[in-house]
Structure 1
Amino acid sequence: MSSSLKRSLAALLSLLCVVVLAACSGIPRSSGVNQGSAVVPVENDAIEFLPAGPIQNGSIEQILRGFIEASSSPVSDYAIARQFLTPEFASAWDATTAVNVDSGLRTVSQTGENTGRLVFALTAQVGAQGNYAEINPAVSTTFEYTFQQVDGQWRISAAPNGVVIDRFTFDQVYQSHPLYFFDSTNTMLVPDVRFFPAGASASTRITKALLAGPSQWLAANGAVQTSFPEGTALVADTVPVTRGVAKVDLNAAALSADPAVIRRMKQQTSASLQSVATINSVDLLVDGAVLNNSISDSASDVMPPPIDSRPLVLTAKDFGYWDGTKIDTYGAFANVMIQSQPSAISIGTMTNIAATLTSQGVSLVRNGTAQLVDSRPGLIAPTVDNFGYVWSVPADQPSKLQAISTDGKIQQVDTSWASADRILSLSLSHDGTQVVALLETNGSYQLVASALVRGERSIPVALGPLFTQTLSDGTPVSVAWVDATTIATVTVNSAGIGLVRAQEIGGQSKELSSITEGTPQSMAGANTISGLRVLTSSGILLSLRGGTQWQTAVSGVTTLAVQQ
């Protein structure tokens, strides 16, 4: 799609939004009537809400309601919302401390001669550095406000920092952006999803958050790190974008970096700003001078390539990629897989090794032969990483996680789930930097993510703190990586229906189409949501067509392989 066509469609969408919102502006969310907000397209085809300012002679309740609505617009540092505040408080109020997301059903009331109250159900929250957290179940939250007269008009003189915004508006105003930091070996970039308002300020907010460092769950134990020297900051507190070029001007602290570090700094910056539609390239400067222009910012060698989008399947007679009509035999592994008929297969597409699970245990497959490397009972489906290690763990001993090298050396990996009773599924990101797992503890299930710490020669050493994700009701079956930031799970509820959910790690989750025929047995991802495949216990491979319906792709499949 051409850029001109994109802009035309965006303008049409914005016009439709104006019409819809104008039609709905008379519908109250609580006891009063809200004034509608105008919406306008901005430079990068996003949408900005432009709420109304304070009404003349407004009551305390009307001013409070108007302030909450105005807080949806971050334009010019929340300039419209600050019109509802006293001059003294307008300069002290920090809107960026937290974004509190609710359903839009609120209670606004006057509680005293010069006080007001807002009660809402908190469903999600975004921190000062853009970290997003879903809150389920929702938490009833109360904010108190104080008012005083300014030139005969009520204005807010005290209020909690941060803003309150409804889910619909949040989804229009805020966008997810992956920031990128390096893993513990400085060989792979690791995404760290954050949420920022769309518009001209996005490049500045992303860069400032990048310089502040990775999220705590990633940074703990040194699993993920930044290449920017300590004290590095923006000179002018802004990142202007001119003709598609972002100018990131840093202070003198950046000069302490050697050429290797400068390259990593450029790679982090370029990769982190690539999600901004108006940015085509990045210039990294120090006090206005380009920082070593001879060093490339290309990140292609520190990010994994996409995997083959075709499903990799095993039948009784063949093993390979299903192309829609036939199996394209995977010559390097076909004979071993057909003969051993493993119940689980993980293929290292960059290392040309595989791990399989049979009744004997977990085997390492390479050069046309299979070698048993873990014979412990009760093992779950193994996985391989892009450094050549086979990962294996017994279901009833989730803390006994092992990484086995191609020469047979066993490395015990310290986990962060010591209290878990069982592990049902384990999956490694394609870049080998993060782990997701389905756990059972005291009869309840959890979906967790954790960053991986590697030692010398990229040996897996330990997992960092657990980052809990959203999981559908029912009994979990499998978890799989979709892309660098998204995972998917399949669970089976009490009615036998397969519930499939996509989860952006550090972002939002959503239910996908349910599986109503057949019992899900395993799942594999391939670059996009539409690349998800689910294998049922009857050997039917399902694919998600158009993101709306599961359809039979092929039958007679004994095992769905996972590509790493």
Structure 2
Amino acid sequence: MNRRSSRRAGSLLTAAVAALLAITGCTGIPSSGSVNSQPASSTPDDIDVILLPPGPVQDANQTQILNGFLQAAASPQNDYEVARSFLSKGFQKQWDPNAGVLIDAGQLQFNIVSPTAMSVSVTPQAEVDATGEYQENDSTTSLTIPFQFTQEDGQWRINAANPGIILEQLRFSQVFSSHSLYFFDPTYTYLVPDVRWFPRDETTSTRVVKALLAGPTPWLGQGAVVTAFPDGTDTSSVVVDSGTANVDLSNQVLTQTPEALQRMQAQLDTSLGSVASVAAVAITVNQNPVSIPAGANSYTPPRVDSRPLVDQSGAFGYLTSNSLVPVPSVSDRVQALGPLSVTASPNVLAVGTATGVSVVQPAADAPVLVDSRAGLVAPTLDPSGYVWTVPASSPSAIQAYGSDGTVHPVAADWEGASGIVSFDVSRDGTRALAFTVADGVPRLIVAAIIRDKDGAPERLGDPVTLASGTGTPLDATWVDASNVASLTVTAGGDNRVIVQEIGGVSTTLGVPTNAIALSGSNDISGLWLLTSTGELQQQRGSGWQTTAKAISLLATQT
């Protein structure tokens, strides 16, 4: 488990583990059983299926009470009313199910500790914290969760348990759903997703808005993104009526400018857009409608040309189904440099060569060498025009070159990384994706980009470790604003491509052969892969299909 995951697991459900007594016996908790489900008759928020677990039965023993409580945690309806029925009267209001979720990778095991104590052994596959942030675990180490019992009116009830709930993966996918909260980049040009997970119940819209008002997740909230809502803005609840989410906000919003109100509306519209029952959003204060001026920016996510940008048979350009289309005023100059890598934006191309990284601009007379350091990985670009470079053997030696020729060293802490194979800035300019090597192990990392008041990069924030394959790291890329993909190769020559939603789950995309590079487009279906034999491939079904040959270079578009 990475450092960040370990810290979260420790605070989530295991605070009292050290106090456990010696285990005297164990048995298994069934992962299936008496939790029933039925389609919801209506969808007041995000409910597709309502789970209906039973409450405690008369004269149930401790094992049955604990088993019933764990299964009832799959029903968040009415503030986990059924799960609370397994608790003592004094503990019912104390227990906080919203403190987080441990998602169990296998069959739970419970252990008899004393006549009034039991514990559950959990192998966390992933966890969700109190803010709804999801993190996958890479450890198989089990955690031990304690429970204490008491008798009330002759019936066993739980009277001590750590906050939060435990769910197996199948139950979690039924009970929780992901929702992207949207914040702005510091220039208010782009909306940046911050993925969270919330229970599917009548409170989903309220949870989404409260989390949005509370601000971005800590790793993004270091200055990489901003919000239009003034400090202290809150809501008591969000009521969805006939498809309209009525968001009643506190008085702070009444003093904001028309432009700020437009931005608030945009954040709410996009953040609540994933709630099934919401078709429109209305802002109110004290139940009175707030007039939002028309003409708000749509804040469309940045997109790139869906055609792959390649070097094929000595020519550079966009590949179509039957031809290669050169980039006017650019292709010949790129080709003349002997490119080893290319990153392209609408106004500038960064070209990696044997002598360093050069910038090619359609309007400029000649390429400009911006970094001559040895062993640079493929350069990357951001929307402000900065060209980012870093040597493969010095992951922390990151530099960003401004259009005025100024060199900006960018501080970064990659947690002991000894090498880096790829470095890519997100298209909104708020995050950096790095595929590093630490202690011989691949580590895929995302970090926030912190800029000064003029927008120049200063440093990278605390890194977050993402899922990656085992073996040797080869490449990584942004798939879209929320998803990234990584490519590794094992000692036996097997490739693995893993796509992960930042703040969400990871999936493996087929098993390509001889893959050496990846490049994202606008979604997962537009992910391109280059092999060592010069084949350009796209994922089709469960495999990878060759779409072109004689490709020597696959460029990245930003």
TM-score computed with the length of structure 1 as normaliser: 0.89
Matched, 1:238 2:242: no
Q: Aligned-residue CA RMSD in angstroms?
A: 2.0
Instruction: Output one character per residue of 1:387-439: Cα deviation in whole Å (capped at 9) or x when no partner.
Output: 11111122122222111122322222222237432221101111111101012
103, 111, 134: which one pairs with 2:136?
A: 134
- Which of the residues 432, 435, 440 maps onto 1:435? 432
Q: Deviations over 1:95-154 (max 9, x none)?
A: 101111102411234433333322221221111110112122133122222222333322
Q: Contact 2:341/2:352 (CA < 8 Å) preserved in 1?
A: yes
Letter in 2 for 1:557: I
Amino acid at match of 2:230: P
- The separation in 2 between residues aligned to 1:242 and 1:328, in whole angstroms, is 51
Identify unmatched segments of 5+ residues in structure 2: 1-26
- What is the alpha-carbon distance in structure 1 between the residues aligned to residue 265 and residue 31 of structure 2? 50
Distance 2:380 2:461 in 1: 19
The residue that corresponds to 2:349 in the other structure is 354
Aligned residue pairs, count: 526
Q: How many angstroms apart in 1 are the aligned matches of 2:60 and 2:416? A: 56
Q: Does 1:539 align with 2:534?
A: yes
1:260 is matched with 259
Q: What is the TM-score when the length of structure 2 is the normalising length?
A: 0.90
C-alpha separation in 2, matches of 1:255 and 1:496:
61
Q: What's the counterpart of residue 312 of structure 2?
A: 315
Once residues 205 and 79 of structure 2 are traced to their aligned partners in structure 1, the CA distance between those partners, rounded to angstroms, is 14
Alpha-carbon distance in structure 1 between the residues aligned to 2:301 and 2:29: 53
- Tell me, yes or no, if structure 1 residue 514 matches structure 2 residue 514: no
Give 1:453-492 correspondences, 5 Å limit.
Answer: 453-492=450-489
Matches within 5 A, 1:108-507: 108-220=110-222, 222-234=223-235, 237-294=236-293, 298=296, 300-301=298-299, 303-349=300-346, 352-367=347-362, 369-417=366-414, 419-507=416-504
Structure 2 partner of 1:550: 544
Structure 2 residue identity aligned to 1:143: I
For residue 355 of structure 1, report the CA deviation from its aligned partner: 0.6
Pair 130,312 (structure 1): closer, same or farther in 2 beyond 3 Å? same
Code of the aligned partner of 2:28: S
Separation in 2 of the partners of 1:443 and 1:109?
A: 38
**Residue in 1 aligned with 2:555?**
561
Q: Which amino acid aligns with 1:52?
A: P
Distance, in Å, in 2 between the alignment partners of 1:334 and 1:269 is 43
Q: Please state whether the residue corresponding to 2:139 is helix, strand or coil.
A: strand
2:18 aligns to what?
Answer: none
Contact 2:31 2:107 in 1 (8 A): no
Structure 1 CA distance, aligned partners of 2:52 and 2:321?
Answer: 49
Amino acid aligned to 2:267: Q
- How far 1:440 sits from its partner (Å)? 2.2
**2: CA distance between counterparts of 1:526 and 1:40?**
39
Tell me whether 415-424 or 202-211 shows the greater mean CA deviation.
415-424
Q: Does 1:94 align with 2:87?
A: no
Aligned-residue offset at 1:162: 0.8
Give the aligned residue type for 1:380. V
Q: Please state whether the residue corresponding to 2:219 is helix, strand or coil.
A: helix
Identity %: 39
Distance change (3 Å), C-alpha of 1:332 and 1:248: farther
**Residue 105 of structure 1 corresponds to which residue in structure 2?**
107
Aligned residue runs from structure 1 range 71-90, under 5 A:
71-90=73-92
Aligned-pair distance for 1:45? 6.1
CA 1:416–1:295 in structure 2 vs 1: closer, same or farther (change >3 Å)?
Answer: farther
SS of 2:237's equivalent in the other structure is: coil
Counterpart of 2:518 in structure 1: which amino acid?
M
Higher deviation after alignment, 425-434 or 256-265: 256-265
Q: Are residues 299 and 240 of structure 1, via their aligned partners in 2, closer, same or farther at CA, if it must alter by over 3 Å? A: farther
Asked if 2 retains the 8 angstrom alpha-carbon contact of 1:399 and 1:418, the reply is no
Match of 1:30 among 25, 28, 44: 28
Q: 1:183 to 1:31 in 2, by over 3 A?
A: closer
Q: More deviation in 81-90 or 425-434?
A: 81-90
Letter in 2 for 1:544: Q
> 1:16 — aligned with what?
none
AA partner of residue 450 (structure 1): A
Provide Cα deviations, 1:2-60, integer angstroms capped at 9, x if missing partner: xxxxxxxxxxxxxxxxxxxxxxxxxxx92669533222334246333221221222111
Does the aligned pair in 1 maintain the 2:128–2:197 contact within 8 Å? Answer: yes
CA distance in 2, matches of 1:201, 1:231: 21
